[in-house]
Structure 1
Amino acid sequence: MAYRKKQHIIPQHYLKGFSKERDDPTISTGNKIIYCHNVKIEKRHKSAIKNISYGNYFYGKDELYEVNDLDDENSDEDSLDCKNLEDVLNRFETQHNDLLDHVIDNKNLALTLEEMYSLYYFLILLKTRTKGAREHAVKSIKTISESVGQMYFDKNDHDDLRVEALPDPIVTHTEFMQALLGSIDKNLHLIVDLSAVLLINDTETNFITSDNPVIFYNYIAPKYTKYKITTAFACSGFMMFCPITEKLSILFYDKDLYHVHKHSQTTVKIKEKSDIDSINTLQVLNCNEEIYCYDESEIDYIKNLRSRVEKYIKEPKVTFTKLNKKYKHPDAIGDEIYSQQFMPYYKIRLSFLKFNEESMKIYKEIEESKNKNNIPCTVFRQELRNTLSFKA
């Protein structure tokens, strides 16, 4: 039987950033208080951090989901050091806790290369360990399995049969997380070219966070892109937000497509409440069930934000797009390719960020060319950068 039944989905060391007791050394991290609002049942409450955002055996039981010691280059299938996926995540959390404390204490992102890589790890893991990530993984596997199976039946004259895939949520999510942990080094190149700044909130309105705190965003998603696949790491215009305290938030952004007005090399001071409202709205739109905040008085503010954007809140879905038969896409199933929309689109406005007009012009030229040929992908940062370099 697993020795750890209560497994935290959002790390406690992350949530402590939104507690008034954050800097009190006499109170353990798990006992620090945070304020919560459940958007599904419209219930507000305060709670010790250890009692929120967890699930019983959320990452699986020891005897079912053993994983290798990832730090041991000589580990093999017979050398099982970690009991379950949460053990692996806990190994990262000690390192990430120190890193977040460093950023919070120094109020900047002047980090070494090793520290910056650790920050990438932290954000990717924080994004993919959630309930929302599990639901997306299950929905994707279910849709693809049903589509491929149905295609097989139809081609073999069994169109009277229907495929219904029922993937196991824990197994699907665990395998997804293990695959990610195994490939994260190989995929870092997809985000290391992004610029990083620390947003310093100089207003009276606090940042909020949620049970899905890392937000992928792209300004150009609906207007220019026919297939709307623009929140993948490598896409032009990709942005990633993650609040870490009520007054600090990390932002990664595409420096070729956006201009950001900085106050130092790694910081942006926000003085406009409307900017904070926009960033907080992304949390409200993307939360799974709960939003977390620094003070109980902020819950009415959260409810007001949600009421203003409720029409944008939709269930993420997996869609299939018909291809031009002259174009053969490596990920196509038959003559279709699947895509996922992970977040509802809501156009935010940030006073400190503007488009690079010259880059935007080139982006549109590339995107229009792809659309004419019915190519189901957006413009990638490297692709845009190569074109800009060639034209220069």
Structure 2
Amino acid sequence: MATNKNQHFVPRCYLKPFTHDGTGKAIRVFNIDREEMIENAAVKHQCSSSYFYGKNERLEAAIQIVEQKYAGVLKRIRSSSYNNFLAEDELILKRFWLLQYLRTEAASKRAVEMSNDFVGLAGADTSFNLEIRDAVQIAMRVFAENMEVIDDLKACLIKNATEFPFITSDDPAIFNNRWFKSDARHRGSTFGLGSSGALAILPLCENIAFIAYDSDVYSISKSCGFVKTKRESDIHALNKLQFLNGRANIFPGQKFSSQELREDYVACKDNRLNERHVLHYAVLDREVGEYKRYRVVSKPEYESHQEALVHSQTLFPNPKAWPMLLQWRKKGFGMTNGTGVGCVRRSRIDDSGGPSFEKMYTGY
């Protein structure tokens, strides 16, 4: 039996730097639906649910170990004497980012919505419908089995030298892909954690953020693992990723005025996605020898068919701007073999199999 009934999917150790005076007790909350600021909300009630991870004591203990390691890294990074991003700290932040990306209520609800839509479209028994806690348990298994998936990404810490602080949200671990969003060759395709051009971003406090990136596609000019920016546009671009990704609440810290925060949100809210997945349905069109050809249809009931394929595609928000500190690498590239594997990083080739891979250049 788990020892804690009230389980946080965004841990209090993560939210603490954004609380009043860093005490971890009260926090400002900007509610996205109401576009309203709530002052002095209790942290213990934020991003939590009764037995969110179920009642598995071993799972709860394993999550607490990751959180404790993160808290230790955060304390070191925020120290004035910390001037060299250590490899062991980088690894802990990568693992914490992945755990946080997979385990939020928003992530679990997205998984449930996609799975249940799939069951409905396929005409399967609704007893197969996924519940939130089922999705959380699956996500934790994915984390345990794939925790090294972004280890190959380069990483650094962004030091915010502007008057505008970093903000965070109830779904703070940002995953996106600038290359896939901007290159017409990727249009209609989705990307995953092993894709070329992957970006993993997490604000750590009001003046430090973590970013991991595919160094075959992007370049960040840094020193000792730090990149310092004085450009307000960089901070606004990174903050807007939180506005686009957050499910219900933004945690802006103490420096932002309510009016400024609302204006920043309004400027990008049209880019928020109402749906975070789409299902594509294809019916068997014809057979040529040993090969089968499928044709995409808008709705399965429009045509009679004996055989079909259903493909689920995850959707990601499309930011209006990216931070200037994230540059394109000259002659950047990904790896592709023309199959459904897509364009992946070099580290993922051995896991893919199939035809041989060739470079796909970004064009920069």
* TM-score, normalised with respect to structure 1: 0.75
Which residue is equivalent to 2:189?
Answer: 228
Distance in 2, Cα, partners of 1:195 & 1:321: 37
Q: Mind listing any 5+ residue stretches in structure 1 that lack a counterpart?
A: 67-81, 151-162
Which residue is equivalent to 1:158?
Answer: none
Offset of 1:340 from its aligned partner? Answer: 3.0
Look up the equivalent residue of 2:35 and give its one-letter code. Answer: E
Which residue is equivalent to 1:203?
Answer: 162
**Structure 2 SS opposite 1:244:** strand
What is the root-mean-square deviation of aligned Cα atoms in Å? 3.1
User: Within 5 Å, which residues of 2 pair with 1:348-387?
Assistant: 348-359=321-332, 370=338, 375-382=339-346, 387=358
Which residue is equivalent to 2:279?
Answer: 319
Offset of 1:192 from its aligned partner? Answer: 1.5
Q: C-alpha deviations, 1:171-210, integer Å up to 9, x for none? A: 322321331243134xx1x311111010000111111000
Change (3 A) 1:229 1:328: farther
Offset of 1:20 from its aligned partner? Answer: 4.6
Distance in 1, Cα, partners of 2:100 & 2:347: 28
Decide which of 140, 157, 171 is 2:114's aligned counterpart.
140
Which residue is equivalent to 1:79?
Answer: none
8 Å contact kept, 2:165–2:256: no
Which residue is equivalent to 1:239?
Answer: 199
Offset of 1:6 from its aligned partner? Answer: 1.7
Offset of 1:134 from its aligned partner? Answer: 0.9
**Structure 2 SS opposite 1:37:** strand
Which residue is equivalent to 2:302?
Answer: none
8 Å contact kept, 2:37–2:258: yes
User: Within 5 Å, which residues of 2 pair with 1:98-113?
Assistant: 98-105=72-79, 106-107=81-82, 110-112=85-87
**Structure 1 SS opposite 2:151:** coil
Distance in 1, Cα, partners of 2:278 & 2:325: 34
**Structure 2 SS opposite 1:358:** coil
Offset of 1:4 from its aligned partner? Answer: 2.8
Distance in 1, Cα, partners of 2:343 & 2:130: 34
Offset of 1:94 from its aligned partner? Answer: 1.6
Distance in 1, Cα, partners of 2:282 & 2:137: 29
Offset of 1:296 from its aligned partner? Answer: 5.9
Which residue is equivalent to 2:246?
Answer: 287
Look up the equivalent residue of 2:86 and give its one-letter code. Answer: L
Distance in 2, Cα, partners of 1:343 & 1:388: 25
Look up the equivalent residue of 2:179 and give its one-letter code. Answer: I
Decide which of 174, 179, 194 is 1:215's aligned counterpart.
174
Look up the equivalent residue of 2:342 and give its one-letter code. Answer: T
Q: C-alpha deviations, 1:324-343, integer Å up to 9, x for none? A: 975899xxxx6535233242
Offset of 1:299 from its aligned partner? Answer: 3.2
Which residue is equivalent to 2:301?
Answer: none
8 Å contact kept, 1:145–1:165: no
Distance in 2, Cα, partners of 1:327 & 1:384: 28
Change (3 A) 1:228 1:299: farther
**Structure 2 SS opposite 1:261:** coil
* TM-score, normalised with respect to structure 2: 0.80
Does 1:177 find its partner at 2:129? Answer: no
Change (3 A) 1:144 1:202: same
Q: C-alpha deviations, 1:31-61, integer Å up to 9, x for none? A: 2x3211111233312223223221223223x
Distance in 2, Cα, partners of 1:2 & 1:238: 35
Does 1:58 find its partner at 2:18? Answer: no
8 Å contact kept, 2:177–2:198: yes
Offset of 1:167 from its aligned partner? Answer: 2.7
Change (3 A) 1:376 1:388: closer
Offset of 1:119 from its aligned partner? Answer: 1.9
Q: Which consecutive aligned stretches of 4+ in structure 1 deviate over 6 angstroms post-superposition?
A: 383-386
Does 1:194 find its partner at 2:153? Answer: yes
Decide which of 242, 249, 255 is 2:215's aligned counterpart.
255
Look up the equivalent residue of 1:144 and give its one-letter code. Answer: F
8 Å contact kept, 1:279–1:348: no
Change (3 A) 1:6 1:279: same
Greater strand share, 1 or 2?
A: 2
Residue identity (%): 25
Look up the equivalent residue of 1:118 and give its one-letter code. Answer: I
Distance in 1, Cα, partners of 2:281 & 2:123: 17
Change (3 A) 1:139 1:384: closer
Decide which of 226, 236, 249 is 1:267's aligned counterpart.
226
Which residue is equivalent to 1:17?
Answer: 17
Offset of 1:387 from its aligned partner? Answer: 4.2
Change (3 A) 1:191 1:337: farther
8 Å contact kept, 2:119–2:129: no
Aligned length: 332
Q: Mind listing any 5+ residue stretches in structure 2 that lack a counterpart?
A: 295-306, 350-356
**Structure 2 SS opposite 1:21:** helix
